[in-house]
């Protein structure tokens, strides 16, 4: 089928490439000329495993092309997948839907035939109904059906997740062709046994927010459990291992550490909190707010461990930071706990040196005031405190005996992967988070 993906960022680009791989003729639309130029050249505009190869494959087959022109997109198909970003608003916890409605207006102006618009961006319940109203008001001469199908892709795994998703949800209006069309689009996945749930628009919109809020709650719960275990002298590693063996619980997203970051969990958690507050659901608001608060406290605890090792406070002392991306495998630093900790320590007067295997450029753009090192060893050189804040496997391969820190160095180990006994034998004090 011919289809258009509107927005070629971290959601849209993998989805467009994935749909091309599944046999569709996909046109990716983005208003940023640099993004379109990179994609047309066969390059991934950001680090995501497998994305560059998928874009190149799509270009060779002719199944994947890109444009910055809405008129060109409107001529390509009558099926449009909306995948623009919906970040948190700068002055509130709500989702910023400005890019969504800008895209809707631009598409409405370009359309010449009836169409189907499937909203894949994360949006609060009720948004698709507002989009339908906007389209009807702007183009009363056309019928533009609106459906909701939030994504469940994981950054770092987006290409395989598009090709074989864990589940598909489709929110539809009472009457229309969305279900019939999208079953054809997803035929390969459905034939492979991927479950599809067809529901209402508002239920579909909530599915993504609910999933991210639950994952955030798991992470904050295990981090709160880690703090509690420390007060009673319990071993949190053994505790989570035993608890994770329970098939009702499992071990995924159940490792204590610095907490969650990125663009999805944080902003969807806060967006759902804002929605619950607006609707007066006090219990839900209180629960989600506590999840967010615990997550932020983990960053404060990491900072306190570092500062507590520095005589007279952080001013003038050297701190090495391993990690800038919010998770390993990507260059995404949006709401990165690692970069937030680094920035706070720098603001407090420490000389902070950051190294990340993939996110150096994105980190520099976000925090140009920080110092950046060319290697893990360089970041640790002369450091009185080294903070392991992103669980890149490369860091576990570093031999601590090869490093040249200051005297009596401290390792703040906030992520899994390092052999703490090995570091202690090399002369480091080790403080798990």
| Strand pairing category for 371-372 and 351-355 | parallel
What torsion, rounded to 10 degrees, do the Cα atoms 40, 42, 46, 49 define? Answer: 150
Extended strands (E) in 164-242: 168-172, 196-200
pLDDT in tens, the chain (433 residues): 999 999 999 999 999 999 999 999 999 999 999 999 999 999 999 999 999 999 999 999 999 999 999 999 999 999 999 999 999 999 999 999 999 999 999 999 999 999 999 999 999 999 999 999 999 999 999 999 999 999 999 999 999 999 999 999 999 998 889 999 999 999 999 999 999 999 999 999 999 999 999 999 999 999 999 999 999 999 999 999 999 999 999 999 999 999 999 989 999 999 999 999 999 999 999 999 999 999 999 999 999 999 999 999 999 999 999 999 999 999 999 999 999 999 999 999 999 999 999 999 999 999 999 999 999 999 999 999 999 999 999 999 999 999 999 999 999 999 989 999 999 999 999 999 8
pLDDT for the residue numbered 175: 80
Q: Taking a C-beta distance cutoff of 8 angstroms, is the pair 199, 179 a contact?
A: no
Taking alpha carbons only, the member of 379, 388, 376, 396 closest to residue 414 is: 388
Q: For residue range 352-362, what is the model confidence (pLDDT) as tens digits? A: 999 999 999 99
Q: Taking a C-beta distance cutoff of 8 angstroms, is the pair 189, 152 a contact?
A: no
pLDDT for the residue numbered 286: 97
Rounded distance, CA 62 to CA 52, Å?
A: 15
Sequence-distant (6+) residues with CB within 8 A of 354 are: 321, 323, 324, 339, 342, 360, 363, 370, 371, 372, 373, 379
Residues 381, 414, 271: CA angle, nearest 5 degrees:
125
Sequence-distant (6+) residues with CB within 8 A of 282 are: none
What percent of the chain is predicted at pLDDT more than 90? 98
Rounded distance, CA 362 to CA 276, Å?
A: 33
CA distances from 233 to 295, 306, 364, 406, 415 (A): 22, 22, 40, 30, 20
Identify the structural domains of the chain with CATH numbers, from first to last: 2-194 (3.40.50.720), 215-256+266-296 (1.10.1040), 301-432 (3.40.50.720)
Q: For residue range 236-255, what is the model confidence (pLDDT) as tens digits? A: 999 999 999 999 999 999 99
DSSP 8-state code for residue 401: G
| Residue whose entry in the numeric block shows the structure tokens 């798991």 | 218
Taking alpha carbons only, the member of 397, 386, 389, 383 closest to residue 363 is: 389
Q: For residue range 87-103, what is the model confidence (pLDDT) as tens digits? A: 999 999 999 999 999 99
| Residue whose entry in the numeric block shows the structure tokens 């629960």 | 287
Active site residues: 264
For the chain, helix, strand, coil in percent to 5 are 45, 15, 40
Rounded distance, CA 36 to CA 326, Å?
A: 25
Residue 43 C-alpha from the chain's centroid: 21
Name the strand (E) or helix (H) holding 226: helix 201-232
Q: Taking a C-beta distance cutoff of 8 angstroms, is the pair 151, 11 a contact?
A: yes
Residues 108, 109, 112: CA angle, nearest 5 degrees:
80
Can you give the pTM of this predicted structure? Answer: 0.93
pLDDT for the residue numbered 263: 87
Q: Taking a C-beta distance cutoff of 8 angstroms, is the pair 88, 103 a contact?
A: no
Query: Residue 115: helix, strand or coil by DSSP?
Result: strand
| 201-232 helix and 265-278 helix, angle to the nearest 10 degrees | 110
């Amino acid at each position: 089928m011919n289809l258009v993906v509107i927005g070629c960022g971290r959601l849209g680009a993998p989805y467009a490439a994935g749909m091309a791989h599944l046999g569709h003729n996909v046109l990716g639309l983005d208003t940023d000329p640099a993004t379109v130029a990179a994609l047309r050249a066969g390059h991934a505009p950001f680090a995501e495993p497998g994305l560059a190869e998928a874009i190149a494959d799509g270009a060779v087959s002719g199944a994947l092309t890109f444009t910055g022109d809405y008129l060109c997109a409107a001529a390509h198909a009558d099926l449009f997948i909306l995948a623009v970003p919906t970040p948190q608003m700068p002055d509130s916890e709500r989702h910023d839907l400005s890019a969504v409605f800008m895209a809707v207006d631009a598409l409405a102006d370009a359309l010449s035939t009836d169409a189907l618009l499937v909203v894949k961006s994360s949006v609060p319940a009720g948004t698709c109904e507002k989009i339908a109203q906007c389209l009807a008001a702007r183009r009363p001469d056309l019928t533009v059906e609106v459906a909701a199908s939030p994504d469940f892709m994981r950054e770092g795994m987006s290409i395989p997740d598009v090709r074989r998703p864990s589940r598909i949800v489709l929110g539809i209006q009472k009457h229309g062709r969305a279900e019939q069309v999208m079953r054809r689009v997803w035929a390969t996945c459905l034939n492979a046994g991927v479950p599809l749930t067809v529901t209402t628009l508002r239920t579909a919109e909530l599915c993504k927010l609910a999933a991210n809020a639950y994952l955030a709650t798991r992470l904050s719960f295990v981090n709160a459990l880690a703090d509690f275990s420390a007060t009673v002298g319990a071993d949190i590693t053994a505790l989570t291992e035993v608890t994770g063996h329970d098939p009702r619980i499992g071990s995924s997203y159940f490792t204590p550490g610095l907490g969650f970051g990125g663009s999805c969990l944080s902003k969807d958690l806060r967006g759902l909190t804002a929605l619950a507050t607006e609707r007066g659901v006090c219990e839900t608001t209180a629960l989600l707010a506590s999840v967010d608060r615990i997550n932020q406290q983990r960053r404060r605890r990491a900072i306190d461990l570092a500062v507590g090792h520095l005589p007279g406070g952080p001013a003038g002392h050297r701190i090495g930071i391993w990690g800038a991306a919010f998770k390993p495998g990507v260059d995404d630093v949006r709401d990165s706990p690692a970069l937030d900790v680094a920035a706070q320590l720098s603001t407090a007067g420490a000389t902070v040196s950051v190294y990340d295997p993939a996110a150096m450029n994105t980190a520099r753009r976000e925090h140009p005031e920080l110092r950046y090192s060319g290697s893990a060893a360089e970041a640790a050189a002369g450091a009185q405190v080294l903070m392991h804040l992103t669980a890149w496997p490369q860091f576990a391969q570093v031999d601590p005996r090869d490093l040249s820190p200051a005297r009596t160095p401290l390792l703040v180990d906030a992520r899994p992967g390092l052999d703490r006994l090995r570091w202690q034998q090399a002369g480091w004090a080790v403080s798990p988070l």
